Structures are given as C-alpha cells and as structure tokens.
Amino acid sequence: MKQSRMHKITVGLLALGFWTGISQFGYAQEQPSRQQRAAQLYENMEYANAAKAYELVVNKDNPDVEQMERLASSYLYINQYALAENWYARIVEHEKASEQSFWDYAEVLQLQGKYSEAKIAYANYQKKYGDKAEISRAIIGTDSALFWMENPSKHVIMNEQDINTSLSEFGLIPTSGGVLYAAEPNSLLAEKSGMTGQPYLKIYSATRNDDGSLSYPNVMPDSFNESPFHLGPIVTDAKEEVLYVTRTYPGKQVEKYRANGQKWRKQNLELKIYRKQENNWVEEDFAYNNVKEYSVGHAALSTDENTLYFSSDMPGGNGGVDIWFCSKQADGSWGAPVNAGSSINTDGDEVFPSVFDNLLYFSSTGHVGMGGLDIFQARGQRGNFEKPKNLGYPVNSPSDDFSFVVVGDNLDENFGYLSSNRQGGIGADDIYSFRYEKPKITVTLEGMTRDKKTGESLSFTTVSLSDETGKLVSTSSSDDKGAFSFDIDRNTAYLVLADKAGYMADSVSVPGVIPQQDTTIHVVLNLQPVNKVGEKFVLENIYYDFDKHNIRPDAAIILDKLVTTLRNNPTLRIELSSHTDSRGSDSYNKKLSDRRAKSAVDYIVSKGIGADRLVAKGYGETRLVNKCSNGVKCKEAEHQQNRRTEVEVLAF
C-alpha cells in the first residue's frame, strides 16, 4: 500500500523537512513548458504553487491522469479537501489511476467527515489491493468516528476569534504573562513558503484573560524569532528562563541526495535552546540535532522538568515520526534519546506531545481516529505508558486536531487549548479553548449505631455531621435498624458523632476522599451504655505523656464526647479514675494519678458541667492492665496503655 500522505503542513515539515530541488537537466536553450514548470513545482514540494500551475495544465478535454493526480495531491497537501475530492472522484474512475489515488480518495472523504462514503472507498481499496492493517484501522476509524459523534464528551470548544486570522495559528503554551504560539504573519512583505503559499511561521504572544479567552496578539521581537524559514512551536520551563524552539534549519549543511533525475536538498527541522541572560537570549543547539539525516522538534517538558519529550523521524523508531524522550542528567545536560515505546508510537506519525501531571497528550495518524491527526491521552511517563485513549468528539474532528495542552484542573473541570483545521474555523489552523465539566461524582457516608456492650443495633440515635472546624453541617437519626446516611462533599474531612439518652456519645473522623467514581464510605459508631449504676468502662485513647497530667489534644476529643453525654443525661453522675504506669515510686504515681483525674474533671467542668456530678479519683499503679509492673522492661506503647482514664456510673 502507498504511504498515507502527511497533509498537515506543520507535521509535513517535521516528517519531510523543507525541500528544495535543483533539476539535473536544466533548460539552457528554451524556457520550460507549462507542464514542465508545474512538474518542477510539484517535485520541489511547492504544493500551493503547483496546484495553480496544474490547474492550467489539466484545463483541457482529456487531461493526463498523472497530471490530475498531482493536482489532487497538491490540494490534499494544502488542506483544500473539497477540491482534492473533486479531482480524486474523477481519477478513480480512470483505468490508469494509481493505488495511491484510491487511498487518497478515501482519506479525503474521511477528512471531510463523509464517513459512510469513506468506508465504501476504503472497502473498494481493500477489494482492489488486498487486506492490510492500515485499511482495517481506517475502516474501524470511520465506524468509531460515527459512534463518538453520536456520544460526544462534555468538552465545550470555543474558537479564540480575537487571535485567529485567515492564516494559521497553532501550538499554544501558557506563560505567566499570557500565552505563546506559532502563527503565519498577516503581512504583504513577509517571505512566503512555496509549500503552503503563506508566510513562514513566527512566534507570537497574546494576553490570557481571567475567563481563559485570548486577545492582543503580537509577534515576538526577541532574537529567537529571527530565522528565514519556519519557527515554532515553542515551549518554556516553569521559570521562563529556558526556551525550546522548533525551527526549519536555515543553513547549508543539509541532507542531499538524487531522486527522479534531480538533486535534492532537505532542510530538516532542528530544536534550538535559548537561555535567558539578563535581557538577552543565548542560543545553543540541542545535543541530538542532526539536520543532515533527520528532523527534531515539538518539545515538551514533564511536570518536574526532568524529562524532555519531542518528535523525530530519527533512525530506530516505529515508522514515520515518533515521540522520543531524554532524561536530565546530574550535570543538567540531556541524556541520549529513548523511544517512548510501542504503546505510544505506531507506523504512522506521533507529534505535538504535551504533559500534565502523569498524562501525556499527543496527536497521531497511526492510532484509530476520526481522520487526519487525532488527539490521544496516555497515563504514564518516559517509556512506560498505558494504552492511549482517543479523546473523542468534539476534541477531535474529521480534520487535524493537535497541540492539546491542559492549563488547569480541579474537582469540577479541566480547561486548556488545542489547535485544529476543522471546518467552521476562521483560518487554516485555528486555536481553540476547551472546558471539560467532569461527571458529577457522589460520595455517600453510610453508618450503623450499635450498643458497644451487646453489639446490638441502636435505633433512633441522633447523628450529627460536622466539618473539620467543628461547624455543624447536618443532623440525622438512625432508623429502626440503626442505619443512617449522609451525602458528603469530595475532598472534605468530617466528624460524625452519635448520641442517645443513656449512652455515652461516640464519634469517628472521616478523611476527605477524591474518588474517580461514585463512592460509599462505611462507619460504625459504638455507644457505651451509662444507664446502670456500677457500669465501668475505659475512655479509650485518653493517654498522658510520661510524668505529665495535662490534657493532650487527642484526649480532649474523647472528653468532649463525655461532655455531650453528661449534657444529654442530666441525672448522670460519674467517677473519673486515673491510672499511671509503674515507672516512678508508688506514692509519686498515686499523687500523679490524682492530678490527672482532677485535670480531666476540671476540663469537663470548664465545658459547663456541674462539679457535683463528677468525682475525681487517682489509683496510681494499683490497677495495671498488662505485665508492666515494677522492674519489668516494657515498650513505651505498653506503658502508655496503663496511663488511662476510666469511668464508673455512680447515679443515673
């Protein structure tokens, strides 16, 4: 099968470089004919000029098939899809039509969103030239495109009309002061590319407004924006002190060879690095440029800036243009290029990488897509990525969609920019902003209230929900089976407290969660009965530091539960007994436990509970709960278990 054409000019520059041809057979004795002139322009890849020339050549009753194919091909390269379709429709009816024309006809139908017609054309190619992987992928793409368009994502796409023109704008990156991007200058004086028929690309800046819209475009006046050929796209580090600029190599050390009776020069792309020094930019070469053999461009930095991704057709790839990466070395230099792997790269082209957190975004012609370049997302880093996901419609379209960059992300949405030459735009390539409203994810807190002593459910128990500042959010009551539930917010911590007459309140802290799907959190609140004289229990998790009697913050939370219980049970009277570990003398520990018991009682009284309802009692080390008596070596955690406070019901 013939190779799929790189109709995207900016990608074509990366895949093919900037070509110039010098005919081996000059026209010394006479001016070239109209046909010879058209052929020369086509071989030089000056497709915009070639299309004009071939229109004059084929303007006759029985035009030559090869000439019509070159005209159609030129229109395809410069994204004039409707004109290309018109000619290919005539060509494929001709018995001398080439294999490439049958493929291009199907492709140009797909690029215009004519998926049913494209599927028929691909099937016709398949019948004529055999079943191949590329054909199967293309046919699947036509079916997938229809599905994606019937089931669009929640992305809202907006054309940034204040910076887009009738020419090309693409490859946006955000900066602290706005944005940078590549664009064709709208100037009559600008030097023009024979390939596109438009001015060579330059780097522009624009203002990014609070709502994400863009305005006030200006060509950058800096030294990095000076080159006779294409410049862009561009990327910068977080401090905006280092720039990585893609440009067409402007020098004479080019790739040279002979083909079709001509000598060829291939001006490949290179990656230039510019470092800020005071008010100037100092230029340096990317260590792995090799303009005599291949192109390098489309740089992107990982979030930690220790990995540099880029696109290249250097040897060792999977085919076409691949995404590669370099790792930053200890001395700050970039290590040798490594291919990003077969999960990302295909026998097609993978270009325009960008990174947000641990997600790599890129565009591809080799994965199943809607047509042209499609935008994909893959989780991972360096050479270890999960299977890429096509972002579907409306991020992607039948045409070329690329330069996808996420600027911000929160729980409710993410937003950023992409570039596309889709129908309905202002110019050839336009910059679009996008916003994606994330699906509403519910978090439910479900719980049970139980009698701590018997384990049985406690019905009709009051349950309150507070935020981490103590502010009451909601109250509820468990049902006849002891069950309750609350709808809670994502990424928010809560305290759940249950209380019931005749029981000591219980509470549990619920940390904030950020789930990826609807989530239910389960809790159990065990309430200690206090409605029987002589009932004894330990206030769990009330501990004291060694040789101290002050109330720690973690102990205050537990004592607050007891305060709630005393308020809700006004006839309840209790003894608070304090216990120490075995370290220290017996008499000292007795005095220390008295101070600790009194400290706990004083804390409760400070919360408004009458002192006559509380008795403080210190038992020292006379009631140890483990083996850690005098002279026994124990861990600190074991000693802390003995430093505790117990409650005994004296009256109810």
The pLDDT value recorded for residue 256 is 66
CA 417 to CA 131: how far, in whole Å?
38
CATH architecture assigned to 32-150: Alpha Horseshoe (1.25)
Task: Let me know if domain 536-652 sits in CATH 3.30.420.270.
Answer: no
From CA 499, how far away is CA 493, in angstroms rounded? 20
Q: Answer with the residue of higher pLDDT: 465 or 23.
A: 465
Q: For residue range 45-55, list pLDDT tens digits in order.
A: 889 999 999 99
Q: Is 181:175 a contact under the CB 8 Å cutoff?
A: no
Q: pLDDT value at position 467?
A: 93
**β-strand pairing of 155-159 with 18-23:** unpaired
Q: What pLDDT does 12 receive?
A: 43
Largest CA distance in the chain: 124
**pLDDT given for residue 246 in this prediction:** 96
Residue spans of the domains in the chain: they are 32-150, 155-437, 440-529, 536-652
The matching CATH number, chosen from 3.30.70.260, 3.90.1300.10, 3.40.1710.10, 2.60.40.10, for 440-529 is 2.60.40.10
Would you say 63 and 96 are in contact if contact means Cβ atoms under 8 Å apart? no
pLDDT band at 511 (very low <50, low <70, confident <90, very high): very high
Q: Is the dihedral of CA 504, 478, 463, 611 positive or negative?
A: negative
Q: How many residues does the chain have?
A: 652
Q: Which residues of 405-427 are buried (b: 16+ CB within 10 A; e: fewer)?
A: bbbeeeeeebbbbbbbbbeebbb
Percent of the chain with pLDDT over 70: 93
* Res 407 pLDDT > 60: yes
Q: What is the pLDDT of residue 31?
A: 54
Query: Average pLDDT of 24-31?
Result: 41
Q: Is the dihedral of CA 322, 323, 328, 329 positive or negative?
A: negative
Instruction: State pLDDT tens for residues 117-158.
Output: 999 999 999 999 998 888 999 999 999 999 999 999 999 999
Q: Does the pLDDT of residue 261 top 70, yes or no?
A: no
Q: Kindly state the average pLDDT of the residues 346-360.
A: 96
Q: Please tell me whether residue 514 adopts helix, strand or coil conformation.
A: coil
Q: Using the 8-state DSSP alphabet, how is residue 523 labeled? A: E
Mean pLDDT rounded to a whole number for the chain: 90
In this predicted model, which residue has the larger pLDDT, 20 or 206? Answer: 206
Indicate whether 10 pLDDT > 50: no
**For residue 18, is pLDDT > 60?**
no
Return the pLDDT at 13: 43
Extended beta strands in 196-238, E state: 202-208, 214-219, 231-236
Mean pLDDT value across residues 256-267: 65
Q: Return the pLDDT at 572.
A: 94
Q: With contact defined as beta carbons under 8 Å apart, do 380 and 360 qualify?
A: yes
| More confident of the two residues 266 and 469 | 469
Statement: residue 335 has pLDDT above 80: yes
At 554, the amino acid letter reads: D
What distance in Å separates the CA atoms of residue 155 and residue 433, rounded to the nearest whole number? 10
Q: Is the pLDDT of residue 539 over 90?
A: no
Give me the pLDDT at residue 402, please: 97
What is the Cα–Cα distance from 579 to 137, expressed in whole angstroms? 76
User: For the ranges 51-60, 138-147, 280-289, 543-552, which has the lowest average pLDDT?
Assistant: 543-552
Helix or strand holding residue 445 (H, E): strand 443-451
Banded model confidence at residue 290, pLDDT cuts 50, 70, 90: very high
More confident residue, 8 or 556: 556
pLDDT at 259 over 80: no
**What tokens appear for 186 in the block?**
């709208």
Residue 307's Cβ-side half-sphere holds a number of Cα atoms within 13 Å equal to: 22
DSSP string, 640-651: HHHSEEEEEEEE
Say which residues have a Cβ less than 8 Å from residue 203's Cβ, sequence separation at least 6: 180, 181, 182, 219, 220, 222, 224, 225, 231, 232, 234, 245
Cα–Cα distances (Å) from 481 to 433, 448, 486, 504, in that order, read 52, 8, 16, 19
Statement: 155-437 belongs to CATH 1.10.1900? no
pLDDT 10s digits, 235-255: 999 999 999 999 999 888 776
In the numeric block, the tokens 């290309």 are attached to 84
